[in-house]
Amino acid sequence: MPLTLIISNPDLLGTVVFVNMTSASTKDYDIDLFQNWPPGAGIGFRVMHQKKSKVNIILDYGWGAKGAAALELNLSEYF
């Protein structure tokens, strides 16, 4: 589970910063579970779509080890 910090007012607009660290195993690269702990981090923006149901439009950009990066656009709320 990532550590998340909400920076701005969540009533209409929001900004989040998140960091995480996880472990996974793979036979392709001969990596055992808990042998490697690559970090990840990111920033995200939230725009309140429906205040009553607290549904947000979410835009997140995250990056991790070895140049991994992702951009995500979502319509939901996780927090």
Q: Render pLDDT for 36-78 as a digit per residue (tens, 0 to 9).
A: 788 999 999 888 877 776 788 889 999 998 889 999 998 876 5
Contact 59, 73 (CB under 8 A): yes
Q: How far apart are CA 66 and CA 40, in angstroms?
A: 10
Question: Is the pTM of the predicted complex or chain greater than 0.75?
Answer: no
Given pLDDT bands bounded at 50, 70 and 90, which one contains residue 1? very low
Q: How far apart are CA 19 and CA 4, in angstroms?
A: 7
Give the three-class secondary structure for 30. coil
Shortest CA distance to 53 belongs to which of 33, 32, 76? 76
